[in-house]
Amino acid sequence: MDGSILAIDPGTRYFGLAVSDDEQRIAFPLVVLDTTKVNLINELSTIIKDKQVTKILVGLPVSLRGTVLPMTAVAQKLSDTLSDRFKIPVESVDERLSTKQASLPGRQQSTKRVDAQAAALLLQSYLDAQR
């Protein structure tokens, strides 16, 4: 498969992004975007072109019991917007515990990159499941 996959861990203010390698085997934290300071669609457009993204994953926040949360609707709207805007496959994936795992002691040096690390964990789980 050619091209990388972009994963987005949406939050109320910060969106963590991660990208896979071109072979879609390994996930790498990319950046944390402050949605109050950047135009998300413009930033994503640049990343999609630069990283040759062929698919986007959007983390879908659900409770431990699998029920919807207030952010679930926001994530779903984001998925729909990205699908319409970029004309590449967009998939919503369960992101339960990704931020909590990224925040574990020893896993993360900088709290600023927790959201990007969470996106990388989400993406790596997806990549592993595809093999």
pLDDT tens over the chain, length 131 residues: 579 999 999 988 999 999 999 999 999 999 999 999 999 999 999 999 999 999 999 999 877 777 778 888 889 999 999 999 999 999 999 876 555 454 445 554 555 578 899 999 999 999 999 98
Output phi, psi for 128, to 5 deg: -65, -40
- Number of Cβ within 10 Å of residue 9's Cβ equals 30
94: left (phi over 0), alpha (psi -120 to 50) or beta: beta
Domain that holds residue 60: 4-130
The number of distinct structural domains making up the chain is: 1
Residue among 90, 28, 8 at smallest CA distance from 54: 90
CATH number assigned to the domain comprising residue 111: 3.30.420.140
H or E element at residue 60 = strand 53-60
- Rounded to the nearest 5 degrees, what angle is found at the Cα of 78, between the Cα atoms of 75 and 79? 90
pLDDT computed for residue 61 by the predictor = 86
